Every structure is written in C-alpha cells, then in structure tokens.
Amino acid sequence: MKRSGNLWREIITFENILLATKKAQKGKRFRPNVLEFNFQLENEIITLQKELISQTYQPGEYTVFKIIAPKPRQISAAPYRDRVVHHALCNIITPIFERSFIADSYANRVGFGTHKALRKFTEFARSSRYILQCDLSKYFPSIDHQILKQTIRKKIKCVDTLWLIDAIIDRSNLQEPFLHYFPNDDLLTPLERRKGLPLGNLTSQFFANIYLNEFDRFVKENLKIKKYLRYVDDFALFSDDKNSLEIAHQEIQNYLVNLRLLLHPKKTQIFETKHGANFVGFRILPKRIRVLSKNVRHGRKRIKCMCRNVKVGKDKISNLYNSLQAWKGHLQHGDTWQLQQQLFGALNLDLASTIEKPERV
C-alpha cells in the first residue's frame, strides 16, 4: 500500500492556513472569537505557522455542552485557532484518504451528504425485499486511539504530519463513560486504552470515516454485498435473500470486534423493506418518504423560538428567513407538501408580510 510523505511543507504554508481560516469561519464570521482572530489575522496566522514549524503548538481546552435533540449528546467545541489548524490539516490529507473511500459512504464528504444518502437508500430499499439496518453503540466515544493511529499510518508516513495528527487525537477530551469488554481483555483493559473523539471537530468527523473505511471495504469486497451504504455510524445492507443478511450480520459482529466496536442491540435488525425504514431523519416507505415526527416537533419548536426572538429584537429576520429556507429545502426531499402547509401556515408570525428576502449588502 502506497504511503504519502512530504506533506508537512504544504500544511504549514501561509496560504494553506489562510484558506483554513476562511473555511473555519464559514457561517461564524461575526462570533466574538472569530472577530478577535481576524482583527490580527496576519499575526495570528504567522504565530500559528511558527508554532507548527517548531512543533510547540498545543491544542487548547474544549468548551463542553450538551444537546438533547435529536438525541442527548455531548458536544465539544475546540478553540477557534485549533479549528483553523484542523482545516489546515484536512486541506492536505483529505484527498489522500478520499481516493480510498467507497462510493456509498456519505457523511462529511464534499458532494455527498444526507440527501444524496437518502436517495441511494430509497433506491436500494425499493429494489430489495430485505434490509439489515445497523447502528454502532456509542460510536464516537468508542473510537480507539491506538487503532485509529495505526489505520492512519497505513496511508501517511510523513513524521511531522503524524506528530500533528497524534497531538489532536491525544488532546481529545473525555467522553461519556462506559465499559465495553472484548476477547482477551482483562478487567482494566477498557480503562487503560484511550478512546473517544469529541463530537464537533472537523478532524473527529474525518477520522471517524477513516476508522470505518476498511470495514466498508470488508462488507463490499469480502461479504460481496452489492447494496450497502453508510452514513457515519448508521449503515444498511440490502438483499432479496434474508439468509445472506443473517450470515453478514454475524460476520460484521466478528469484524467489528477488531475495531473494539459493538452493534447497537436494539437498533440493529433484519426486516422486510415493505414495512418502511428510518434513515437520516426520514421514514422510507415503498411509495412515500415521510419526515420523522420527532424531527417535525424539533423543527416546529426551533422556528417558533426564532419567531419570538425576531419579534422582541433578539434575532434578525434574515436569520429566520435563512432557517426557513433551509428547512423547506430539507423537507422537499420527502413527500411533505401537506406537512409544509401545516407547519408554515401555523406560525404565529405572518411570513408573507414579515419575512422578506434580506437585501444584498
């Protein structure tokens, strides 16, 4: 397997770090930490560049908070200058790994995403009788640092680049505690092995794809599953032969032990596609695609909250307009015409007169 070297010079260039700042601040330009960084942009970039060259750079502390929708999760926000470094690294190493990803891995990749995954899932579901739908138990908190580093080293040999990657992985903050035991573990093994990547990092999302890339290839090439796709830790196999999926289920469980991962016992099951399946916020039925009720409730609550904030001057109409347009665009990927009439017609704010497209500056 060919390994890439001589990446460090590309990562630490002023031009690459400048490009990283533009990506890191997308949609966040007016946040205080971004404004502060941009006020002395050239000096900040040069400082980061010097720290990387001398390898004195150290990631900062995470800001941790919890969200409850769509499910309870711990989010870890890295300092802004660290997010710039994450982008600078990914600018250079992403193409190396991208070439090895399968076509039906959809998360955190340019040109892919939830809606493309939904279309492929629908195509597979409507052309197959059975589905093996799987979910990994506590995926991000379970990612084993040693295994991740070994996997990355199969593609990268540049010592300086590996130093930066290791620094980012090693500075991962503690995730929610849990114990999973695997064959040959002793009582202390799960406590001694460092694991877990912080949700919220660009690098965490990218490393999560790398971690399962060889698994994707195992399913496609070893198990010979033609209809397979994955979105982060949700993946599905489709077939007209139920027995082949039952065999694949057992083989997948055995393979995941090598990655110190477990299938979620309740969310992993084989069933007929005619009954419908949930995926990326939608329920895919033989002749309809519906939005999950919990997502509708969350969306309605969020929009109403933004409407109240606009009325009292806590938020801008332009932000509300953009959120509505984004949500409408999302809903249009399902059979949701009536739902949209109900949702947007029920708003307390008169959208037709109050929400106008923001003027271009």
Apex 174 CA angle, 172 and 178, nearest 5: 130
pLDDT in tens, 221-256: 999 999 999 999 999 999 999 999 999 999 999 999
pLDDT, averaged across the chain: 90
Residue 251 burial class via C-beta count within 10 angstroms: exposed 0-12, middle 13-18, buried 19 and up: middle
pLDDT in tens, 151-198: 999 999 999 999 999 999 999 988 887 888 999 999 999 888 999 999
Average pLDDT score over residue span 263-289: 95
**Strand ranges (E), the chain:** 63-67, 73-77, 130-135, 227-231, 234-239, 269-272, 277-279, 282-284, 289-291
Eight-class DSSP state of 286: S
Average pLDDT score over residue span 137-160: 96
Backbone angles phi, psi at 188, to 5 degrees: -100, -10
The answer, yes or no, to whether residue 69 has pLDDT greater than 80, is no
pTM (2 d.p.): 0.88
Q: How confident is the model at residue 319 (pLDDT cuts 50, 70, 90)?
A: confident
Residue with tokens 């196999």: 237
Structure tokens at 139: 């995926």
Q: How confident is the model at residue 358 (pLDDT cuts 50, 70, 90)?
A: very low
Structure tokens at 185: 């573990």
Dihedral of the alpha carbons of 79, 85, 91, 96, in degrees to the nearest 10? -110
The answer, yes or no, to whether residue 356 has pLDDT greater than 50, is no
Comparing 135 with 359, the larger pLDDT belongs to: 135
Residue 277 burial class via C-beta count within 10 angstroms: exposed 0-12, middle 13-18, buried 19 and up: buried
